[in-house]
Structure 1
Amino acid sequence: MGSEATGFKIAVVGATGNVGREILDILAERAFPVSEVVPLASRRSLGQEVSFGDRTLVTKDLATYDFSDTDIVLMSAGGDVAREWAPKIGAQGAVVIDNSSAWRYDADVPLIVPEVNADAAAGFSKRNIIANPNCSTAQLVVALKPLHDAATIKRVVVATYQSVSGAGKEAMDELFSQTRAVFTTGEAKAEKFTKRIAFNVIPHIDVFMEDGYTKEEWKVMAETKKILDPAIKLTCTAVRVPVFIAHSEAVNVEFERPITADEARDILRQAPGILVVDKRENGGYITPHEAAGEDPTYVSRIREDATVENGLSFWVVADNLRKGAALNAVQIAEVLVNRKLISPRKAAA
């Protein structure tokens, strides 16, 4: 796609984490036009090796790195790092695409899911920051957008079934060690989660808020409004389930205009980023196990809800490390490049 001259210099902050490694894989897989890729991490992970395509890269120190000739910084290092570093990096002229929740609600920072609101990416220049949404929001709005365009959504009720990888590597280790403990009559210790996650579900993700919702539930509500339409009413129950990778969602939608399940199926089949797998038979739907490692947002179980006027229910599944995080971030970078919103600084120098 790009020769050395036309490539972009990319830095990946948080390169040793779950999402950082996934970003490096996806940049290579999609043949993103890079001239150079630099993995950055905190001092703690300094010198660790990560792979990019068939190459091995050694992480450098975020704190001492000079971003003056970097074009795009893909950041996946948590909210505190993003709050401190995104403005500093943006001030040096690089565009930061941040995975944390730090900048999502800032009016000057676009919150982007490319299949839904790519046009809003042009607003990045106010701060040189673009926010990636919460993993649960990303797959939800990909499915809602084409239906909203067709029949206008009034209200959404969503229950999430979120995998432990959304809480990081230690959370995945905890599910593994607790599962093993259950079978070997060891003690299933809960450290990362508030209760045992093995063979259990926990209706609690992130901190509790004044109104009884958790921060995770609030994020889904606030971000859907910002990305899709502030007029949509949405309520969410976010649940952690003992699955390693991929989030699922049971979604119930009330529309302003009539829309049948068949119409919805046809609309979703033609929509970008979606695969409809919806046979009304044993196994005729997608589970997180099949979605892990895949790019699309899958929609299954599309049916009419007769308890409200113009109601539909469906099931949405996507890999939270890919569409929910790394893939979406790389797709945002592709929007910047393909729409010529940025050009390589080295070439201009």
Structure 2
Amino acid sequence: MKPPTLSLHHHHRLTIPFLHRPTSISLSPSPRVSNAPFTVRMSLKEDGPSVAIVGVTGAVGQEFLSVLSDRDFPYRSLKLLASKRSAGKTLTYENRNYTIEELTENSFHDVDIALFSAGGSISKKFGPIAVEKGTIVVDNSSAFRMDEGIPLVIPEVNPEAMEGIKLKSGKGALIANPNCSTIICLMAATPLHRRAKVTRMVVSTYQAASGAGAAAMEELEQQTREVLEGKEPTCKIFKQQYAFNLFSHNAPVLSNGYNEEEMKLVKETRKIWNNKDVKVTATCIRVPVMRAHAESVNLQFKTPLDENTAREILSNAPGVVVIDDRAANYFPTPLDVSNKDDVAVGRIRQDVSQDGNYGLDIFVCGDQIRKGAALNAVQIAEMLL
């Protein structure tokens, strides 16, 4: 299975391992219709914002480009930024050739919106520099999420957090994109929370290799082949066998026994819901799936909410699709949502451990590169238009 390559100008080729489907892709078509004909969209608009993508060669950086194209995001100009290693390579996008530039302190002159996905240390260094130049930064790392005064935004959930941030106001700003697990969970939990107020939430996650980056996806693919051939699996990214196995999420474990990924769900939920009292606990597990996270979510409510009402609420929730076929025993799977924008929810049922209709169990799946990262950031940028 060869990794797809992105179409590049001249002799430079930039390889991004197995991020969409195992077919050769060029950047212009939507990855959701990889085998179908496509129309090259022309998103260049003279009155649109100037956009920079920081970390364009990474998994989420690539997805930024796909999402901008899919959604006809109207940009006046596009600047592609990456490390020195990638600078100078030419990338073809929407029928135009772009030279990837090295990210420096001078990269943000006349940039209205910068989409960052290059890791926390890069965001911490260059995010404030961009803001100082008047750029609105949408940051995909965890660098600023819990900082007081920096909005942590899921557009369908808490758009009001961005009030007062305006394009072309001459004032830069930082907006943080939440963790992928938090986004996927809250897309389904929030509509129910609005109706009956969640007092306690127990989340168990089943997280795909893509959440750990392109190299982790490659290792899972390599290990699968090795194990099937009776060889010792190569364990470079993770300390243990990943193929045909699952293990506790690889984020560092804290003194309270929770790992950082679990505590992100706890803290970010409270900030996004603007509710310090909601009780949240999480167990995050890495499973041998290529792309898209799944989550089992148990909700306890302040006021009763029956499963039929919950199903109706979720059916009408923006960005959510219900897959809940008990007769056929068919519910959301990672494959259902891979390369899709919507978060899927099913297994909607009353919690039998609680009296009355004060508890529900739901099962949620979402593409964590798409809605869990790139799409959410682009939606934030759209709210600025």
| C-alpha displacement of 1:285 | 1.2
- 1:147–1:51 Cα change, 3 Å: farther
Alpha carbons 2:203, 2:298 under 8 Å: kept? yes
- 1:57–1:3 Cα change, 3 Å: closer
| C-alpha displacement of 1:215 | 0.3
Q: TM-score, normalised by structure 2?
A: 0.85
Partner secondary structure for residue 286 of structure 1: coil
**In 2, distance between residues paired with 1:195 and 1:107?**
37
Alpha carbons 2:320, 2:342 under 8 Å: kept? yes
Alpha carbons 1:143, 1:316 under 8 Å: kept? yes
The corresponding residue for 1:136 is 181
**In 2, distance between residues paired with 1:149 and 1:21?**
34
Extract structure 1 runs of 4+ deviating beyond 4 A. Answer: 123-127
Letter in 2 for 1:195: Q
The corresponding residue for 2:112 is 71
Partner secondary structure for residue 237 of structure 2: coil
The corresponding residue for 1:294 is 340
| C-alpha displacement of 1:204 | 2.5
Question: Which protein has greater RCO, CA pairs closer than 8 Å, 6+ apart?
Answer: 1
Partner secondary structure for residue 116 of structure 1: coil
Letter in 2 for 1:301: R
- 1:238–1:226 Cα change, 3 Å: same
Alpha carbons 2:197, 2:301 under 8 Å: kept? yes
| Correspondence list, 1:195-214, <5 A | 195-214=240-259
Partner secondary structure for residue 271 of structure 2: helix
The corresponding residue for 1:320 is 368
| C-alpha displacement of 1:336 | 1.1
| C-alpha displacement of 1:2 | 7.2
Letter in 2 for 1:241: V
| C-alpha displacement of 1:184 | 1.6
RMSD of the alignment, in Å? 1.6
Give CA deviations for 1:231-290 in whole Å, capped at 9, x if unaligned.
210000000010111000000000011111100000011111100111103352120012
Alpha carbons 2:134, 2:172 under 8 Å: kept? no
- 1:56–1:328 Cα change, 3 Å: same
| C-alpha displacement of 1:123 | 5.2
Alpha carbons 2:46, 2:75 under 8 Å: kept? no
Partner secondary structure for residue 34 of structure 1: coil
| Correspondence list, 1:215-226, <5 A | 215-226=260-271
1:35 aligned to which of 54, 58, 76: 76
Between Structure 1 and Structure 2, which shows a larger proportion of helix residues? 1
Alpha carbons 1:97, 1:132 under 8 Å: kept? yes
User: Which moved further from structure 2: 288-297 or 189-198?
Assistant: 189-198
| C-alpha displacement of 1:54 | 3.6
Give CA deviations for 1:41-90 in whole Å, capped at 9, x if unaligned.
01022123444334342211102643121100000000000011100110
Letter in 2 for 1:291: V
**In 1, distance between residues paired with 2:55 and 2:207?**
22
| Correspondence list, 1:205-284, <5 A | 205-228=250-273, 229-284=275-330
Alpha carbons 1:24, 1:51 under 8 Å: kept? no
Q: TM-score, normalised by structure 1?
A: 0.93
1:7 aligned to which of 26, 36, 48: 48
Amino-acid identity (%): 44
Letter in 1 for 2:63: E
The corresponding residue for 1:340 is none
1:173 aligned to which of 218, 222, 226: 218
| C-alpha displacement of 1:314 | 0.7
The corresponding residue for 1:112 is 153
Alpha carbons 1:16, 1:48 under 8 Å: kept? no
User: Which moved further from structure 2: 162-171 or 279-288?
Assistant: 279-288
The corresponding residue for 2:33 is none
**In 1, distance between residues paired with 2:47 and 2:271?**
34
The corresponding residue for 1:22 is 63
**In 2, distance between residues paired with 1:151 and 1:107?**
28
User: Which moved further from structure 2: 321-330 or 190-199?
Assistant: 190-199
**In 1, distance between residues paired with 2:165 and 2:128?**
12
The corresponding residue for 2:195 is 150
1:311 aligned to which of 359, 363, 366: 359
**In 2, distance between residues paired with 1:142 and 1:221?**
15
Partner secondary structure for residue 247 of structure 2: coil
**In 1, distance between residues paired with 2:287 and 2:214?**
15
Partner secondary structure for residue 6 of structure 1: coil
Partner secondary structure for residue 76 of structure 2: strand
Instruction: State the number of aligned residues.
Output: 337
Alpha carbons 2:44, 2:77 under 8 Å: kept? no
Letter in 1 for 2:281: T
**In 1, distance between residues paired with 2:240 and 2:366?**
25
- 1:71–1:89 Cα change, 3 Å: same
- 1:300–1:9 Cα change, 3 Å: same
Letter in 1 for 2:272: I
**Structure 2 unaligned blocks of 5 or more:** 1-41
The alignment status of 1:84 with 2:132, answered yes or no, reads no
**In 1, distance between residues paired with 2:164 and 2:241?**
43
Alpha carbons 1:124, 1:130 under 8 Å: kept? no
